[in-house]
Structure 1
Amino acid sequence: MFVDFKEIPEDAKVWVYPSSRKFYANEIEPLEEKVKAFISTWKQDDDTFKASYKILYNRFIVITADNVTTPLKGADIDASVSFILGLQQEYEVELLDRMNVCFKQGEFVQYKDLKDFKKLLKNKALTGKSIVFDNLITTKEDFENFWKIPIEDSWYNRFLK
């Protein structure tokens, strides 16, 4: 069942899908409708299941599900991945590639492959204070506290040396 993001408990599972490009303004509303429709029908047979989403910076799709009250099974995860794969194809973006880095440069969110990100660090285009998005976080609490952090406080800090 779809609920407001605030109603999801802190220990709920979170998936962050960074898009290889910003979604265009005319894509946001239809994208939100598709994500909400998926969540509304995801585990529809279980009245206690709660899930939600956010679309942030016109680039990130964040899905959260209370998997403590209602554990997710392999088929549930497969359904979500299949849904995301469909969005990738429809919008012609990458959403599942974990070898890319998202970070802020000024007010803009950039998306670079890891090799280019390392070059930016080496060339001092980014510093340890630059904000990076840790899209590998797994809980809502981590999302709220550690998703958007300085590079020096993230696992990317090993590339600062």
Structure 2
Amino acid sequence: MYVDFDKLPDNARVWVYQANRSLTDSEVKAIEEILRPALEQWAAHGQPLLASARVVENRFIVLSVDEGYSLPSGCSIDSSVRTIQKIGSQLSDNNGSVDFFDRSAAVRLSDGPVQTFALPAIKSAVNEGLLTPETIVFNTLVQTKADFMTNWHIKAADSWLKRYFKSILLISE
């Protein structure tokens, strides 16, 4: 059953799917039109799940479920992953394919648009000063709605990227 994201409890489970490119407003609308009916029917072992989704920053799909209402199962989680994959393949067009399983570092540089750095490019971005410990990172590892609400934007030094800054500090000392 679909419910508005704001009505889910703070302990609702969250999954974040990051697109490999910015989404157009029409793509965001199409995603929302696909997700709502999919979530209306989302169930685990025949029990409906109380769930919501939203597209954030024209780049991320945030899927959430109230585990206090009904627990998602492995099969229901797999079903949600297939839905996200299907959305990505349906959106592939002249703007390029959409991969919602992108594991690049998503950051905001100087209050501009979301930018990503592929894993192989992170070290050089740090060396060049494009990524600093103060750079704002989108924390795609949030686990709950409360975590999303308070820890969605974090400093790179407080994220999984911190290991790249340790090597820079050792070199500069």
| 2:148 match | 143
8 Å contact kept, 2:19–2:102: no
Distance in 1 between residues matched to 2:77 and 2:127, nearest whole Å: 38
Equivalent position SS for 1:36 = helix
1:97 Cα deviation from its structure 2 partner: 3.1
1:3 Cα deviation from its structure 2 partner: 0.8
1:46-105 CA distance string (max 9 Å, x none): 35x31111111111110100123311111111110110111121122111133x110001
What stretches of structure 1 move > 3 A for 4+ residues in a row? 44-47
| TM-score w.r.t. length of structure 1 | 0.91
The aligned amino acid for 2:23 is: F
| TM-score w.r.t. length of structure 2 | 0.85
1:6-33 CA distance string (max 9 Å, x none): 1111111101011001111222211111
| 1:37 match | 37
The aligned amino acid for 1:46 is: Q
* Alignment equivalent of 2:123, drawn from 118, 133, 148: 118
Q: List alignment gaps of at least 5 residues for structure 2.
A: 92-96, 167-173
Identity percentage over the alignment?
A: 33
| Structure having the higher Rg | 2
Distance in 2 between residues matched to 1:89 and 1:30, nearest whole Å: 12
Q: List alignment gaps of at least 5 residues for structure 1.
A: none
Distance in 2 between residues matched to 1:156 and 1:35, nearest whole Å: 31
1:92-143 CA distance string (max 9 Å, x none): 2111133x11000122101221121221111111211110012122211211
| 1:13 match | 13
RMSD in angstroms over aligned alpha carbons?
A: 1.6
